[in-house]
A and B are shown apart, each in its own frame.
Chain A
Amino acid sequence: MSSGQEGASSPAAGLAAAVREGRASAVEVLERHLGAIAERDPEIHAFNLVMVDEARRRAETVDGAVARGEDPGRLAGVPVALKDNLCTRGVPTSCSSKILASWRPPYDATVVERITAAGAVVVGKTNLDEFAMGSSTENSAFGPTRNPHDPARVPGGSSGGSAAAVAAGFAPLALGSDTGGSIRQPAALCGVVGVKPTYGLVSRYGLVAFASSLDQIGPFAHTVRDAALLFEVIAGHDPMDSTSLDGPAPSVLDAIPMGVEGMRVGLVSELLAGVEPAAAAAVEAAAEALTGMGAKVETTSVPATVYGLSAYYLIAPAEASSNLARYDGVRYGLRVEGEDVAAMFGATRQAGFGAEVKRRIMLGTYALSAGYYDAYYGQAQRVRTLIIRDFEEAYRSFDALLAPTTPGPAFPLGAKTQDPLSMYMSDVCTIPSNLAGHPAMSIPWGSSDGLPLGVQVMAPALGEAVMFRVAAALEGEAPPAPVPAGGRR
């Protein structure tokens, strides 16, 4: 670890330090990133919207504060990209859906308030699979995002725009949301760090809901330290979110230097089964590295995780079918007129939603129907309880668990769009943590044919400190990573 040299090891922390100390100006930092966006985003399409004017005003405000001798905060002048399902006051928040294409929220999400209060400069809204439903960002109503490592390939999803924005150097930090792997999977495919915190640690207020009991906001960054910094800024109780946890959020930056010596780490056998050889090899190499640093690594079993995908595809669509009911053309967003109100509802939703969203609304509606509830939604909730129990059992013997993030590297655009089940399999390794509500993160490790891979570190609820320690230790020992065109800046 090179924790003493933040600038070198952690671009976001380095930028913030430079801006706070007056060694760099937020405006200059922003212009450099806007330049990169102008140069390469036409190809990558990470952004639905680049907030050029707002970002410039914000950066000037930050520089003004520094000039007055004030401290703008821990993210002073750091450009941050926001997944376009996070509400931004007065700025379109589309969820990459036609139905919300022109909607401007009258309020900021809690995370947006928090990063802004910490001096961050929101640089734009990033592309996603419509309403966060997908694993490739191809389900966007505004066209796919491309992987900066290979524009013929997907960046993963649903937070593909945020992952690509960080990978391509458009912003050193980004926020995404993770319902079944939507932060970790694109992080792995784009070669960046992606974190899904413990459910309830980061307020969901202002995150447009997909599946409320699973959704969690988290950071993207180039480094574990940068991700930890952004995590600390956004985590913590919010009275606007009833599911927000009381008490202070775990302090992770301080824990990182503690290393992994003596730590017990389990390799989850069920999640290694069925992944591509390169992905399995990456995890095994990571396990060896941990052993080399003094951790005790063993293979273990978390049996119920094999049912994760099935349970997820009942619970998430069920909640989505209810969460997305409000897009009916009455109050905001798209309206397609009809003969009467019911016809207007139908026409609006028919025209406004894409195929995958419709598929999940249908699945979820069916799963909740009278007579089927117990067999589907009820059964899925019982599986969820089982998964939590099995994880808790594993955490009696281990401080953290290790697994692949994805079955393989980024796939070509279009490769899985005709086969929803194969697309759904992209999240098979990440879903169990969402069902359990536990924290998990992906860090870049290894490659397959020049494409990045990720390994996933999982920890028990509120185990972020341990998780970040393991991730930081691994990061320090990681093999050379593929660098996308443009690279990091």
Chain B
Amino acid sequence: MSGGWETVVGLEVHAELRTVTKLFCGCRNEFGAEPNTLVCPVCLGLPGSLPVLNRMAVELAMRVGLALHCEVRPSVFHRKNYFYPDMPKDYQISQYDEPINVGGWLELPDGHRVGIVRAHLEEDTGKITHVGGGGRIHEAAHSLVDYNRAGVPLLEIVSEPDLRSGEQARAYVAELRAILVATGASDGKMEEGSLRVDANVSVRPEGASEYGTRCEIKNLNSLRSLGRAIDHEAARQIELLEAGERIRMETRHWNEAAGHTVSGRTKEQSEDYRYFPEPDLVPVAPDDDWLAAVSASLPVLPAERRDRLAEAAGVAAGDVAVLVEMGLDDLVLGAIGAGADPRVAVNRAANEVAANLEAAAKLTVGAFAELVRMEAAGELTATQAKQVLAAMLESGGKPADIARARGFEALAADALTPVVEQVVADNPDAFERFKAGDPKIQGFLVGQVMKATKGNADGGRVVAELRRLAGLG
């Protein structure tokens, strides 16, 4: 941060785990169903009902823990007691001092390591809609509660205060999301609320070792909000401190439209959640066999995939982050492995394939590699290659067949020379000016060639041919 201040950020990320059923009952874990249709006595907390832990949720938590280099440990569920209408039992079953994952780290694409304090399991609450008033509970005429989300498994991932800017926080969440998606733990959709981020933000003089008083920022519904909110909040705090005021520890809500945070409840009288071990559940102690099986089933993680692709393509890891995020790295690696030009393969994947991701699954490595080869060898111009690739994505097929069907193949290297010679012969004055070095005439001559080839010639090669004929090459 500028002006001698350093921003310090720690993030709490709540990820909804992609299980078939909820954390403690057999209700389906699904987004978007009619309100209160995915409920049963257990997730409604009806008297007499009891929770039974979903093994899949534990396994997904273990996957994430291992991917974040955490120690996966025997864990205990606790009850976190507080009254709120979205919570069917008026306590939340969560993990407290014995969480399943502790002490890991996450590496950002730029190599910066962010410490992970813990990643623990807990149940989600229902969802309240306040009707009337300003959409806040104390102003509402009445409130509606949908318990479909109650009992959905959450993994709360708490970072160390290792982040130093809004931009870095964005990179952290983007990387965490990639890991959650790669491990199959979550769909990572911030817009559907399956990935929710709270940011603890403080500032301190550069070089200081003590942390400043932090504020917790909520209502961060996108990466963009996250980055903006942190930067605005840091600026607000710096302004206060520079004015000689102090920071109150509090929860603040990000208002995306207004572009600032507003005060929520102060945290100085922190709520007493009266945690105690959940007597209705038994401790979870993954044995070595289970841990080993989960570990063995982990996919190659984004950081390693980036490194692998960057090395093969001869570029920086940060430059292929998007391809990895889109899951196109195997396609590109495959093509490179088949001898395709790395630069062309990366470009075509990052542009044409990325533009039609749904169809990308149909694209075989062999066909893609062949297309890249044809472009690199000059059998297709860049423009033609893009068109052929688009057609391949649209309706499948081999690049050579599509090129032939479109008449692109006639323009192979030796086919261009006679066309250029004809244009030169037809336009002697223009060619003289070209030979004399008039820069404006080159476009005219290339245009004539394009016209004659119905746009199928490679502009760069036309110029090269013209220069050769003019004795300039």
Q: Please report A residues at the B interface, Cβ cutoff 8 Å.
A: 85-87, 93, 95, 100, 103, 105-107, 109, 204-209, 211-213, 239-243, 318-319, 321-322, 325-326, 328, 330-332, 340-342, 345, 365, 368-370, 373, 377
Known: A209-B48, A319-B279. 19 other contacts (CB 8 A): A105-B46, A105-B47, A106-B46, A107-B41, A206-B49, A212-B279, A240-B50, A242-B50, A242-B52, A321-B274, A322-B81, A325-B89, A325-B91, A328-B83, A330-B145, A332-B46, A368-B274, A370-B272, A377-B276
Nearest chain A residue, comparing its CB with the CB of B53 = A242
A243 x B282 contact (CB < 8 A): yes
How far is B137's CA from A340's CA once the two chains are assembled, in angstroms? 9
- Whether B59 sits at the interface, judged by CB under 8 Å, is no
B41 x A105 contact (CB < 8 A): yes
Q: How far is the CB of A43 from chain B (nearest CB, A)?
A: 30
B47 x A100 contact (CB < 8 A): yes
Nearest chain B residue, comparing its CB with the CB of A213 = B279
B50 x A341 contact (CB < 8 A): no
- Whether B34 sits at the interface, judged by CB under 8 Å, is no
Q: What are 18 A-B contacts defined by CB distance under 8 Å?
A: A85-B48, A87-B48, A93-B47, A107-B46, A204-B50, A205-B49, A211-B279, A212-B280, A240-B50, A243-B50, A318-B276, A322-B79, A322-B91, A326-B45, A326-B89, A328-B83, A331-B88, A341-B85
Nearest chain B residue, comparing its CB with the CB of A366 = B274
- 7 nearest CB pairs, A to B: A325-B90, A368-B274, A213-B279, A212-B279, A208-B47, A206-B48, A87-B48
Q: How far is the CB of B381 from chain A (nearest CB, A)?
A: 66
**With A100-B47, A205-B48, A239-B52 known to touch, is A369 a contact of B83 (CB < 8 Å)?**
no
**With A206-B48, A322-B91 known to touch, is A242 a contact of B280 (CB < 8 Å)?**
yes
**With A242-B52, A242-B281 known to touch, is A326 a contact of B276 (CB < 8 Å)?**
no
- Whether B190 sits at the interface, judged by CB under 8 Å, is no
Give per-residue flags for B24-47: 1 if the beta carbon is below 8 A from chain A beta carbons, else 0. 000000000000000001001111
How far is B272's CA from A109's CA once the two chains are assembled, in angstroms? 33
Q: How far is the CB of B160 from chain A (nearest CB, A)?
A: 24
Q: How far is the CB of B327 from chain A (nearest CB, A)?
A: 38
How far is B89's CA from A86's CA once the two chains are assembled, in angstroms? 18
Interface residues on B, range: 20 to 34
A326 x B137 contact (CB < 8 A): no
- Whether B143 sits at the interface, judged by CB under 8 Å, is yes
Contacts of A85 in B (CB 8 A): 48
Q: How far is the CB of A191 from chain B (nearest CB, A)?
A: 30
How far is B15's CA from A164's CA once the two chains are assembled, in angstroms? 53
Q: Please report B residues at the A interface, Cβ cutoff 8 Å.
A: 41, 44-53, 79, 81, 83, 85, 88-91, 137-138, 143, 145, 272, 274-276, 279-282
Nearest chain A residue, comparing its CB with the CB of B147 = A331
Contacts of B282 in A (CB 8 A): 242-243
Contacts of B41 in A (CB 8 A): 105-107
Contacts of A325 in B (CB 8 A): 81, 83, 89-91
Q: How far is the CB of A379 from chain B (nearest CB, A)?
A: 13
How far is B138's CA from A242's CA once the two chains are assembled, in angstroms? 39
Q: How far is the CB of A201 from chain B (nearest CB, A)?
A: 15
Q: How far is the CB of B146 from chain A (nearest CB, A)?
A: 12
How far is B97's CA from A373's CA once the two chains are assembled, in angstroms? 14
Contacts of B143 in A (CB 8 A): 341
Contacts of B51 in A (CB 8 A): 242
Q: How far is the CB of B70 from chain A (nearest CB, A)?
A: 25
A328 x B274 contact (CB < 8 A): no
A340 x B81 contact (CB < 8 A): no
A322 x B50 contact (CB < 8 A): no
Contacts of B53 in A (CB 8 A): 242
How far is B79's CA from A100's CA once the two chains are assembled, in angstroms? 23
Residue in contact with A207 in the complex, picked from B48, B83, B88, B275, CB distance below 8 Å: B48
**With A208-B47, A326-B47 known to touch, is A368 a contact of B81 (CB < 8 Å)?**
yes
Nearest chain A residue, comparing its CB with the CB of B89 = A326
How far is B352's CA from A450's CA once the two chains are assembled, in angstroms? 95
Nearest chain A residue, comparing its CB with the CB of B282 = A242
A87 x B88 contact (CB < 8 A): no
B47 x A209 contact (CB < 8 A): yes
Contacts of A377 in B (CB 8 A): 276
Contacts of B276 in A (CB 8 A): 318-319, 322, 368, 373, 377
Q: How far is the CB of A132 from chain B (nearest CB, A)?
A: 12
How far is B85's CA from A342's CA once the two chains are assembled, in angstroms? 9
A326 x B280 contact (CB < 8 A): no
Contacts of B50 in A (CB 8 A): 204-205, 240-243
How far is B41's CA from A87's CA once the two chains are assembled, in angstroms? 11
Contacts of B91 in A (CB 8 A): 322, 325
A208 x B48 contact (CB < 8 A): yes
Contacts of B49 in A (CB 8 A): 107, 205-206
How far is B44's CA from A368's CA once the two chains are assembled, in angstroms? 24
B52 x A240 contact (CB < 8 A): yes
Q: How far is the CB of A246 from chain B (nearest CB, A)?
A: 11
Contacts of B83 in A (CB 8 A): 325, 328, 342, 345
Nearest chain A residue, comparing its CB with the CB of B278 = A212
